[in-house]
Amino acid sequence: MDAIETTVAMTPEAAEAAIRAALADNGFGVLTEIDVQATFKAKLGLDRPFLKILGACNPGFANRALELDPSVALLLPCNVVVEAVEGGTKVSAVDPTALMNDPAFDALAAEVSAKLSAAVASLG
């Protein structure tokens, strides 16, 4: 899957705090949070490494996308994943340019991709 990603030499908790701040600096708020590690432990009794899925949204971009096509709501919010990996933490975000097949979305998807890329790149 096409993603915007980086691996950083920091704890998952530190990387999560850093990406939340970087997202805010780029106009995104975190609307949802799924703690996969805690959920799988509680529901399945499984031990998994740190894995969180943050649902990030820039209201201006979301509104513009919805005006073009209301079915884009199926892709909202943008998922940003913080995952413990060997030697650090991987932070990845969905690349909107890879998801959109409609030329009407090209410019907007590029703008959103640039902002998400800036947020992820600021970590490392």
Per-residue pLDDT at 62: 97
Per-residue pLDDT at 1: 72
Per-residue pLDDT at 88: 98
Name the residue range of residue 18's domain. Answer: 3-121
Q: What is the CATH number of the domain that holds 55?
A: 3.30.310.70
* Measured distance CA(32)–CA(114) in Å, rounded: 21
Per-residue pLDDT at 53: 99
Count of domains for the chain: 1
Tell me the pTM. Answer: 0.92
18-63 pLDDT, tens per residue?
A: 999 999 999 999 999 999 999 999 999 999 999 999 999 999 999 9
62-101 pLDDT, tens per residue?
A: 999 999 999 999 999 999 999 999 999 999 999 999 888 7
